[in-house]
Chains A and B, each alone.
Chain A
């Protein structure tokens, strides 16, 4: 098989921002930019359906395009399409150039695709930086509002510093193992001719700092609440799903199948990170009044749950991680989508108090939002429950009893603040009839369709997860 045809999905993803850039130079049109980015994300998806069956060879040395990478690329570009649809309504009500937003968004997704398919430190670093640099622009996109600029500079400085740590870790690992190629590295690690040196463990530690920052797990989470709150809501949706998903894909591939988790010290560091993330995330979420901030902390906790399945380091564990991630994608995109779609020119609907009495004004919307929150809390009949169930099963099968018990305990804490939002929606509307109601914007047709689709998927995967699970099993099965 010609290796270049295997590369086609990634090449198409890379061409999208390029085409968009040239089109913007000659003809500015918001609709056209949306259409180009949707087509650019959908084309690789259509191709994926064709290539998923044929076993693609690894493209030595930089990229490896196997079923696993293709599955994740498909997931990430689908999520990007949802974000594109949500961004349209959002950007229509802000001043300034809108088209560049999609340029940065598609570029970031290209970076994510490189990240998930990377087989070498160079492609790992390049993918990560293409993602990060585009995100700096996206987070600070509304450059006339102070909160966006503030969160932009926070993200910029912290992300750049964490990338430097990641890079130093890579240099140390390179010095110890003598290679930057993941395949070669795996075989050196598997040989286990000697005890891991200080250099190697230090390198792993610093790479974990870099990866942990992107995942926003404790103690590398400080940026998350501020950036989530300050960034435009579609960007927040992107940050919490696509940007984290790409890193999880990489962590899963090399943590488990690269033999990284065979080292007890690496596994125990990850376990500590997981426990801290679950508890700190859930406890701090209790104190929040801003919905975006609350979801930032909830996202920290969810990545903690996810890490438990990563630490399980089993086939069930990797199925659980992927399933959980898909459920988390659907739920997060849905919630941030509803926040975006309810906001209007006057105010962003990001305070919990904005949702008071929403049920009496918008029963369908508040019903969908309740379902999404139930899914985050892990209530049965939602995709979130099935995901959490698989994570717990994976933990139990690998005898991680302490982690499993802590996961259950912290989920119970989490239940409280999800229910608090839901109860707010069913309270009666604010007493003062003259105060303008917030969160009243009508949805546009594409927004409504996307949000309805996400809700349907949420229930579908919650009741009948078998098709998704078998797709995941096929994808993960293509790993070594």
Chain B
């Protein structure tokens, strides 16, 4: 059971990581980061079944932090959209990447 949960979690995390690296739409990149966080949540819950309750408590904190991050992140992305009329990160080229 642990192996399946871990494999799923690792898979989701890798998908998220690739998404951040490959996609160029800021919102999709942000979604991929949320996917990474949720992959970690899955792993934590799976571990905590064997190790102790700490993992599940941690998941609560990760969820709320993810929400806070999404709130601030989307606010920045909206400001960007107002200025550039796009959220494609390739268009942000005033500073060298």
Q: How would you classify the secondary structure of chain A's contact residues: helix, strand, loop or mixed?
A: helix
Stretch of A157-165, A339-347, A437-445 that contacts chain B? A157-165
Closest Cβ–Cβ distance, residue B33 to chain A (whole Å): 5
Select one of B20, B33, B55, B69 contacting A129, CB under 8 A.
Answer: B69
Distance between Cα atoms of A225 and B20 in the complex (Å): 20
Q: Chain B, interface size: which category?
A: 35 or more
Distance between Cα atoms of A153 and B82 in the complex (Å): 14
How many A-B residue pairs lie within 8 Å, measured between CB atoms? 124
In the complex, chain A residues whose CB is within 8 Å of the CB of B20? 157, 161
The contact string, 1 if C-beta is below 8 Å from chain B, for chain A 125-166, is: 110010011001100100110110111111011001100110
> Are the C-beta atoms of A171 and B44 separated by less than 8 Å?
yes
**Given A125-B65, A133-B68, A168-B13, also A153-B92 (CB < 8 A):** yes
The contact string, 1 if C-beta is below 8 Å from chain A, for chain B 50-90, is: 01101101100110010011001100110110011000010
> Are the C-beta atoms of A230 and B72 separated by less than 8 Å?
no
Distance between Cα atoms of A463 and B77 in the complex (Å): 49
> Are the C-beta atoms of B94 and A147 separated by less than 8 Å?
yes
In the complex, chain B residues whose CB is within 8 Å of the CB of A129? 65, 68-69
**Given A161-B20, A174-B54, also A147-B97 (CB < 8 A):** no
Chain A: interface residue total (CB-CB under 8 A)? 42
> Are the C-beta atoms of B29 and A136 separated by less than 8 Å?
no
Distance between Cα atoms of A133 and B44 in the complex (Å): 23
- Name the residue of chain A whose CB is nearest to the CB of B52: A178
> Are the C-beta atoms of B92 and A225 separated by less than 8 Å?
no
Instruction: Spell out A's residues near B (CB within 8 Å).
Output: 121-122, 125-126, 129, 132-133, 136-137, 140, 143-144, 146-147, 149-154, 156-157, 160-161, 164-165, 167-168, 170-172, 174-175, 178-181, 222, 225-226, 229-230
Top 3 nearest A-B pairs (CB, nearest first) are A164-B36, A226-B95, A175-B47
**Listed A/B pairs (7) with beta-carbon separation below 8 Å:** A122-B58, A125-B58, A150-B80, A161-B20, A174-B54, A175-B43, A226-B96
